[in-house]
């Protein structure tokens, strides 16, 4: 066992506080790395506060993890000491089911093992995430990270990046498509960057007027403030795809009416309450609502390689570990530009 420092909560109403625990010994297929940076995802808040009803405590959140390898097991092929490495939302899966075989480990029939807030089926105990100084993960669930990019700004690619890259690729979004991104936060700003990089015409639909300038800088071609009815005029039946990244309960019907014939609303945000959808908003124009969850390991590596090639990273605000509760409060107000990343040197 190796002694590990982290930050944890012990209940849904707790603040994050220092927490010491042990990681397992490095097994033959394991990679151990020092965590240098960890992004702060809104899913961390949902789970810390048990908003999805599935939380297990103590909980060490964090699933946008990057760092430098400190030890590898005897059978590890992909990594050596000193390499950069990343871990996203998954640290294990059955590896045998049809989805695992297809590289869709996030849809493992046995249930993939989350990086935190999960029982570790193989080693026992709970998994603890990236708000910590080191991690031990089977190499199959560790991705390679380029030395070319700013490492702190790479961290959010491990969740916000792959969660937006994957559906845009799945639906083959590209030139000629009109895409709207709802919510300009961690996921939203990456959706804008990828959709623009893939050649789509991108509109940001936001509740925050001050984000208009940033939306353009991130690559969006248009912006509409959804609280202002005048700015919504002309958006009826306009978009081929809408990527909804909103973390809080909101009205889906308004956005559905903005989809063109055969348009798809791709929901990646997971508000704590079910969505209410008026059937007529789907019938008219044969519209669809779809969901998408992170991405499998091969696609996560593909996304990181794409980002290294096209110089794409997240726009971040680097924070100290003890700022985390304040960061959560700011995210809940939509005040994030556009991902908080924890500098683990401050742990």
Q: Kindly list the residues in this chain that would bind Zn ion in the complex (CB under 5 A).
A: 41, 43, 93-94, 97, 100, 108, 159
Q: Using CB distances below 5 to 8 A depending on partner kind, what does residue 178 bind out of Zn ion, ligand NAP, none?
A: none
Name the residue nearer to ligand NAP (CB basis): 60 or 336. 336
Q: How far is residue 72's CA from residue 277's CA, in Å, rounded to a whole number? A: 49
Structure tokens given for 321 = 């570990």
Q: Using CB distances below 5 to 8 A depending on partner kind, what does residue 127 bind out of Zn ion, ligand NAP, none?
A: none
Q: How far is residue 149's CA from residue 266's CA, in Å, rounded to a whole number? A: 29
Q: Cα(first)–Cα(last) distance of the chain, in Å?
A: 20
SS3 breakdown of the chain: % helix, strand, coil, rounded to 5? 30, 30, 45
Render the burial of 213-224: b for 16+ CB within 10 Å, e for the rest. ebbeebbbbbbb
Q: Using CB distances below 5 to 8 A depending on partner kind, what does residue 26 bind out of Zn ion, ligand NAP, none?
A: none
Contact 64, 156 (CB under 8 A): yes
Closest separation between CB of residue 208 and ligand NAP, Å?
3
Closest separation between CB of residue 74 and Zn ion, Å?
25
Name the residue nearer to Zn ion (CB basis): 53 or 82. 53
Name the residue nearer to ligand NAP (CB basis): 31 or 215. 215
Name the residue nearer to ligand NAP (CB basis): 149 or 184. 184
Closest separation between CB of residue 101 and Zn ion, Å?
8
Name the residue nearer to ligand NAP (CB basis): 59 or 294. 294
- DSSP letter string, 286-316: T-EEEE--S--HHHHHHHHHHHHHHT----E
Contact footprint for ligand NAP (CB under 6 A): 41-43, 46, 159-160, 163, 183-188, 206-208, 211, 245-248, 250, 268-270, 292-294, 331, 334, 336
Query: Around Cβ 269, how many Cβ atoms within 10 Å?
Result: 21
């Amino acid at each position: 066992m190796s002694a590990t420092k982290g930050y944890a909560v012990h209940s849904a109403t707790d603040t994050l506080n220092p927490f010491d625990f042990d990681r397992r010994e490095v097994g033959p297929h394991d990679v151990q790395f020092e965590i240098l940076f960890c992004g702060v995802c809104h899913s961390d808040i949902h789970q810390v506060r048990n908003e999805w009803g599935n939380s297990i405590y103590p909980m060490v959140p964090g699933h946008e993890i990057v760092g430098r390898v400190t030890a590898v097991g005897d059978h590890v092929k992909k990594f050596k000491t000193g390499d950069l490495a990343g871990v996203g939302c998954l640290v294990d899966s059955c590896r045998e089911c049809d989805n695992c075989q297809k590289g869709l480990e996030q849809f493992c029939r046995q249930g993939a093992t989350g990086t935190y807030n999960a029982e570790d089926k193989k080693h026992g105990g709970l998994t603890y995430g990236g708000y910590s100084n080191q991690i031990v993960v089977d190499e199959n669930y560790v991705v390679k990270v380029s030395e070319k990019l700013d490492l702190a700004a790479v961290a959010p690619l491990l969740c916000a990046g792959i969660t937006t890259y994957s559906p845009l690729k799945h639906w083959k979004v590209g030139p000629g498509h009109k895409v709207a991104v709802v919510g300009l936060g961690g996921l939203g700003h990456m959706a804008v960057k990828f959709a623009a990089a893939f050649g789509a015409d991108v509109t940001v639909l936001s509740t925050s007027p001050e984000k208009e300038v940033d939306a353009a800088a991130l690559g969006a071609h248009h912006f509409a403030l959804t609280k202002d009815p005048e700015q919504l005029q002309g958006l009826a039946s306009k978009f081929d795809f809408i990527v909804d990244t909103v973390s809080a309960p909101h009205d889906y019907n308004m956005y559905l009416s903005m989809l063109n014939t055969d348009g798809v609303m791709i929901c990646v945000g997971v508000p704590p309450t079910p969505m209410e959808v008026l059937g007529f908003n789907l019938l008219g124009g044969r519209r669809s609502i779809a969901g998408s969850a992170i991405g499998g390991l091969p696609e996560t590596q593909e996304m990181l390689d794409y980002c290294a090639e096209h110089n794409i990273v997240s726009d971040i605000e680097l924070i100290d570990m003890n700022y985390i509760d304040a960061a959560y409060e700011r995210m809940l107000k939509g005040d994030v530009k556009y991902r908080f990343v924890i500098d683990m040197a401050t742990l």
